[in-house]
Structure 1
Amino acid sequence: MKPVRIDFVSDIACPWCAVGLASLEQALKEVGSEVSAEIQFQPFELNPQMPPGGQDVFEHLTEKYGTTITQVKANQEKIYQRAAELGFPFHPEGRKRVYNTFNAHRLLHWAMVEFDLDAQHRLKKELLKSYFTLAVDMDQHDRLLEAVERAQLPIERAREVLVSEEFAKDVKDQEQKYHQLGVHSVPSIILNNQFIIQGAQSPELFAEALRDCANGVI
């Protein structure tokens, strides 16, 4: 059995990324000691040009996808139901606005570089919680720092990162790398740098892929 590297390319502004992570985590629990795996979160910005203050979620989604508010609400309900089945609760009224997430990606890179992948994983989950469960203003540094605190990482160091340009180039370089590799939608889950699973697939599909990678089938 060989170890499995999981590169989870995603954005904390992506509801399907929250669902996909919850599904992958369930799959990892299912395979247990059968598979030795580690997750590294890679940055992808759905809305890199989003200005400060963000945009109303319905305005944004109807403009971006050419759908009606009714269609957006129906799709959101499907996401909420799928997420609830996997143990990830969305805010009952949904998020109100869509925000730029570059600072969140810088913090995630910081957590990995200065701590470890477990720290990055904890922070990723807390940032998703802030965005979708708590539905707070993600432009405010204090809201990002609350996620840092819940992830048991040092707030003052995180504050230093936020008010600087630290890790900005690292994040941009990683984003460019995955765009060049053909990743244009998220979540994209890459196993051992060679096998890609796109979308929030079922725990069963993730578990099968993990076992196949560990056993050298793929």
Structure 2
Amino acid sequence: MAFELPKLKYAYDALEPYIDARTMEIHHSKHHAGYTNNLNNAIAGTNLEGKSIEDILANLDMSNAAVRNNGGGFYNHSLFWDVMNPEGKGRLSGELKAAIEAAYGNFDEFKTVFSKAAATQFGSGWAWLCVHKGGKVEVCSTPNQDNPLMPGVSCGGTPILGLDVWEHAYYLNYQNRRPDYIEAFFNVINWNEVERRYAEAK
């Protein structure tokens, strides 16, 4: 079956004032839709048809630019929409909170490290919170649409929180003020979903 653009669980304007409706609409209905269509075209008639996106990315031939870029774009954005929520669902707690504190000392230091990874990613890319088997967490960033599931990517593990720092994700509202966009992101994180992903991946 072909991959389908996932429906958002909230309206395009639901994340305002942190992320504006016009950006969300373009980002989802144009950019993510483009990655979805291009991924389907790239795998059509190949042995990748019918495989899960996680299987495709984990066993990716990194020289296959079409699948690398569009498969990454499809997966990354699917995660991105799910780890945000307008209602501020949940607070960081439980095993994930303990894992973050074990790695970074406290939440504020984690936020500093994550924000720095997002702010200093040169050009386009993503910042990630990943979990390794056993539960250890790690922050990293990747260029373009690469992500930690792909072979040879710097931090590895399973991504459970991701922030898109491509300019299309924030430029209409924040222009060149990427740090302001990063700060705003922390107001819309769906920690219940991040914790669910942590428990599943560890």
On whether the aligned pair clears a TM of 0.5, the verdict is no
Higher helix content, 1 or 2: 1
Structure with max Cα Rg: 1
TM-score normalised per structure 2 = 0.28
